[in-house]
Amino acid sequence: MAAVMQPTSIAVRAANPNEGHTIAGLWRELWDAHEAWGGYAGTRDPKVYEQLANRLSEDARVRGGQSILGRHVHLVADSGGTAVGQVEGWFERHGVDDATPFTCEVRSLIVSSQARTRGAGRALLEGLADVARHLSRGAPVVLAAEVLEPNPAHTFYANVGYRPVSWTGRVPTGGAPDASPYDLYVARVASPNDALPIALLDPALAARRRGQGDLRFDRPRAVDATFVGALAAHLARPSASDQSELVAVDAGGMVRASASLTVMSLDPPFLPARRGLLGRFATDPALDPRPMVAALVRLGRRLAYVRGAATLELTDLDPPGHPINAGAMAVGATPWSRIVERFA
């Protein structure tokens, strides 16, 4: 795609094969900033960044001057022939409904400290929006970025039209059991027999997301046998895997809420570590969700700890002060990040 020229002499283009070391330096600046804000630690090993530089150069060579490779987009901000910023995008559709917009996830946006206040960040996001519209072929597409709570970029994203649609908390997995004001529900790992009640909770999750303005996912839909059967097959997998579905049940054994747990390893240039994610909180809309969420988080903490994660991120929460968010905070979580979104 053609370069996007800016009045500040910033151009947005694809990376060149000889820029691997420059872009790897931008990545290091990004990870150092994230670590300073309380994010996951990045390595200081120069060999890791040398490997990253070689991979970036090879990636640019394979792309042959194009920003798009499959669903991955990579753009750099050029000032006087030097890459002073970069952004990645990941293009996909979350769901099966043709009316659901495509999503282009904004990843690793960084502008060198020497080049800030010159419009490079705005130019990169506009360039990514151009590419996303090209990939969607006229269909609606939203740009979505995760921004850590301590990151001062919140004002920048608001100024370029993004607004928060989803929140994340984080809680340590180790230490003494958390004290909870709630004990109405018991959480456990779901079994195939839970497929139907979990499926019946899904429309409430979809409605909550849409109510918060999060357009990345399907609208509420009718529960059918195909969906229930696929969910039952998913739940039949061994529970010791890095992905599990959790449910909160009441005193009568009825499933009243569900959530999805994933534990994964961080890739370089992060230091080796395991990351826990608990999200897709779906709760019975007729009941107070706070005690259900608290039960799910307490179990998620224990399982993530056993699987090697020191922290558990609670994703897909509603705004601070609202019930699902409050249930997460009641068992020791603290605000971690938010998802901001806008149409391309």
Question: If DSSP states are collapsed to H, E and C, what string results for 211-232?
Answer: HCCCCCCCCCCCCCHHHHHHHH
**Mean pLDDT to the nearest integer, 314-327:** 97
Classify residue 138 by its DSSP letter.
Answer: T
What does the pLDDT look like over 194-250, one tens digit per residue? 999 999 999 999 999 999 999 999 999 899 999 999 999 989 987 667 899 999 999
Q: Which residues contact 226 (CB under 8 A, 6 or more apart)?
A: none
Same domain, 244 and 322: yes
Strands 141-148 and 163-172: unpaired
Domain boundary among 141, 161, 181: 161
**Assigned domain for 340 exists:** no
**Assigned domain for 344 exists:** no
- Are the C-beta atoms of residues 21 and 53 closer than 8 Å to each other? yes
Q: Which residues contact 102 (CB under 8 A, 6 or more apart)?
A: 91, 92, 93, 132, 135, 136, 139, 140, 141, 142
Quote the pLDDT of residue 183. 74
Q: Domain containing 60 — which CATH number?
A: 3.40.630.30
Please, which pLDDT band fits residue 7 given cuts at 50, 70 and 90? very low
Query: Across-strand partners of 249?
Result: 186, 255
- Are the C-beta atoms of residues 202 and 194 closer than 8 Å to each other? no
- Give the 3-state secondary structure of 14-75: CCCHHHHHHHHHHHHHHHHHHHHCCCCCECCCHHHHHHHHHHHHHHHHHHCCCCEECCEEEE
Please, which pLDDT band fits residue 8 given cuts at 50, 70 and 90? low
State which residues form the domain around 26: 4-161
Quote the pLDDT of residue 86. 98
Same domain, 206 and 130: no
Same domain, 258 and 117: no
Q: In the chain, how many domains are there?
A: 2
Quote the pLDDT of residue 117. 86
Asked if the model's pLDDT at residue 187 lies above 80, the reply is yes
Which SS3 state, helix, strand or coil, does residue 256 take?
strand
Residue 141 is encoded by which pair of tokens?
Answer: 């597409």
What does the pLDDT look like over 238-296, one tens digit per residue? 766 789 999 999 999 999 999 999 999 999 889 999 999 999 999 999 999 999 999 99
Same domain, 238 and 310: yes
**Mean pLDDT to the nearest integer, 102-113:** 96
pTM given for the model: 0.91
Same domain, 150 and 243: no
Same domain, 114 and 244: no
What does the pLDDT look like over 11-59, one tens digit per residue? 999 999 999 999 999 999 999 999 999 999 999 999 999 999 999 999 9
Q: How far is CA 111 from CA 72, 78, 128, in A?
A: 19, 10, 15
**One-letter amino acid for residue 264 of the chain:** M
Classify residue 331 by its DSSP letter.
Answer: T
**Assigned domain for 262 exists:** yes
Same domain, 37 and 133: yes
Asked if the model's pLDDT at residue 325 lies above 90, the reply is yes
